[in-house]
């Protein structure tokens, strides 16, 4: 059997295990491992970034088909500027090239694309491409794709705190009115439900300054698979794992209130 056919059959098998009523509506992904993937193959790191783009295309399709509504992917962090300038330049160039090539298909798929992060340090030519992609797709309703570029979770929280402080100074709000709802309304992800699921590829067990506020109660799925090797089969495995979790949010699962009183132990 050809490898394509094997993958298709595995997809079908895994799809049957998925409860279509409990698909996470917002999935966040730290797409990590591009460099190692390329190095393992004796290739320059740029090959890993390139392959990573085609994986992202596959995962957007898979999540949309599954009934997920929002995908938020980490493409470039505020810390990634510390990489060699040649790699940084390559990545910035790649964003522009990929978007120019893919925007028509993104739009025809009714995907609304948003860039989350501080775009100010990017070249004007890239800013123009990103902004026109956002305005072209702003009324699309089938799916939202958030691409985090020059994004940092701490920076986002500081930005919100500054905005709230300014509003308070101007007398627009009172300190007593500062609450989670207000904070949420100032976030770069405003209006979106928090991700139910965070996927990180390449085995690193850290958040790396991604969506610090929004991930407060997300289920975390970490796979050793490097992002360029990730695919629909791996994605379905993550969803199945998510569906096996018991999301308690600090509560207790299916224990009636009375049973605690009936069975407590004396101290
Ligand atoms: C993720 O892959 C892509 C970006 C951070 C832009 P890496 O480039 O971090 O790959 P590794 O972690 O070095 O293998
Ligand atoms: C996180 O990956 C950022 C992106 C995927 C864009 P990194 O490779 O930059 O994270 P660390 O260095 O392993 O924490
Ligand atoms: Mg990395």
Cβ of 76 closer than 6 Å to ligand 1, yes or no, is: yes
Contact 116, 43 (CB under 8 A): no
204 lines ligand 2 (CB under 6 A): yes
Largest CA-CA distance found in the chain, in angstroms, rounded: 70
CA of 32 to the centre of ligand 2 (A): 6
Residue 256 lies in a domain: no
> Quick check: CB of 56 below 6 Å from ligand 1?
no
Predicted local distance difference test score (pLDDT) of residue 264: 73
Burial 153-177, CB ≥16 within 10 A → b, else e:
bebbeeebeeebeebeeeeeeeeee
pLDDT of residue 1: 76
> Nearest Cα to 37, choosing from 57, 20, 61, 53?
53
Structural domain for 87, as ranges: 24-151+194-245
**Structural contact between residues 30 and 210, judged by C-beta atoms closer than 8 angstroms:** yes
Residue 49: count other Cβ atoms within 10 Å of its Cβ.
22
Alpha-carbon span 264 to 139, nearest angstrom: 56
Instruction: Report how far residue 232's alpha carbon sits from residue 226's, in angstroms, rounded to the nearest whole number.
Output: 14
Domain-located, residue 117 = yes
Q: Which ligand is nearest to the CA of 48?
A: 1
pLDDT of amino acid 46: 98
- How many helices (H) and strands (E) are present in the chain, helices listed first? 9, 6
97 domain residue, yes or no: yes
Q: Whose CA is nearest to atom 8 of ligand 2?
A: 32
Q: For atom 10 of ligand 2, which residue has the closest CA?
A: 208
Ligand 1 center–CA 58 separation, angstroms: 18
Q: How many domains would you assign to the chain?
A: 1
Calculate how far, in angstroms, residue 8's C-alpha sits from the geometric centre of ligand 2: 31
Would the CB of 201 count as within 6 Å of ligand 1?
no
Task: Output the pLDDT for position 267.
Answer: 83
184 is catalytic: no
Quick count: other Cβ atoms within 10 Å of Cβ 231?
A: 17
Over residues 120-143, the pLDDT tens digits come to 999 999 999 999 999 999 999 999
Please give the C-alpha separations between residue 211 and each of 14, 88, 199, in angstroms, as whole numbers: 29, 22, 12
Structure token pair of residue 3: 């490898």
User: CATH no. for residue 103?
Assistant: 3.40.1180.10
Residue 150: phi and psi, rounded to 5, are: 45, 50
User: Residue 253 falls within a domain, yes or no?
Assistant: no
Going residue by residue through the chain (267 aa), what tens digit of pLDDT does each one get? 788 899 889 999 999 999 999 999 999 999 999 999 999 999 999 999 999 999 999 999 999 999 999 999 999 999 999 999 999 999 999 999 999 999 999 999 999 999 999 999 999 999 999 999 999 999 999 999 999 999 999 999 999 999 999 999 999 999 999 999 999 999 999 999 999 999 999 999 999 999 999 999 999 999 999 999 999 999 999 999 999 999 999 998 766 565 666 677 788
pLDDT tens figures, 41-85 = 999 999 999 999 999 999 999 999 999 999 999 999 999 999 999
- Which residue, 253, 251, 181, is CA-closest to 213? 181
Does residue 164 lie in a domain region? no
Whether 80 is a known active-site residue: answer: yes
Answer whether residue 80 is part of any domain. yes
pTM, full prediction: 0.95
The values of phi and psi at residue 82, to 5°, are -75, -5
Q: In angstroms, what is the span from residue 122 Cα to ligand 3's centroid?
A: 21
Task: Pick the catalytic residue from 34, 65, 80, 184.
Answer: 80
CA distance linking residue 9 with residue 15, whole number of Å: 10
Best residue for ligand 2 mutational test, from 80, 198, 212 (most atoms within 8 Å of Cβ): 80
Specify if 38 maps to a domain.
yes
Please indicate, yes or no, if residue 172 is contained in any of the structural domains: no
């Amino acid at each position: 059997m050809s490898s394509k056919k094997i993958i298709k059959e595995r997809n079908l098998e895994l799809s049957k295990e998925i409860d279509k009523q409990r698909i996470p509506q917002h999935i966040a992904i730290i797409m990590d491992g591009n460099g190692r993937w390329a190095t393992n193959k004796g290739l320059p790191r740029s090959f890993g970034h390139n392959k990573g783009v085609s994986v992202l295309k596959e995962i957007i399709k898979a999540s949309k088909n599954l009934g997920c509504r929002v995908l938020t992917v980490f493409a470039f962090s505020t810390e990634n500027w510390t990489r060699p300038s040649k790699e940084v330049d390559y990545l910035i160039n790649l964003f522009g090239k990929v978007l120019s090539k893919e925007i028509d298909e993104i739009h025809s798929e009714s995907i609304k694309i948003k860039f989350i992060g501080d775009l100010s340090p990017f070249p004007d030519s890239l800013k123009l491409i990103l902004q026109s992609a956002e305005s072209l797709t702003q009324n699309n309703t089938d799916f939202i794709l958030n691409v985090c570029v020059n994004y940092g979770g701490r920076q986002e929280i500081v930005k919100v705190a500054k905005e709230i402080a300014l509003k308070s100074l101007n007398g627009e709000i009172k300190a007593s009115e500062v609450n989670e709802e207000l904070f949420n309304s100032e976030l770069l992800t405003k209006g979106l439900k928090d991700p139910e699921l965070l996927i990180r590829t390449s085995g690193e067990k850290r958040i790396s300054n991604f969506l610090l506020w929004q991930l407060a109660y997300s289920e975390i799925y970490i796979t050793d698979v490097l992002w360029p090797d990730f695919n629909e089969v791996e994605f379905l495995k993550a969803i199945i794992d998510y569906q096996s979790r018991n999301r308690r949010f600090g509560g207790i699962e299916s224990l009636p209130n009375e049973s605690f009183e009936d069975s407590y132990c004396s101290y």
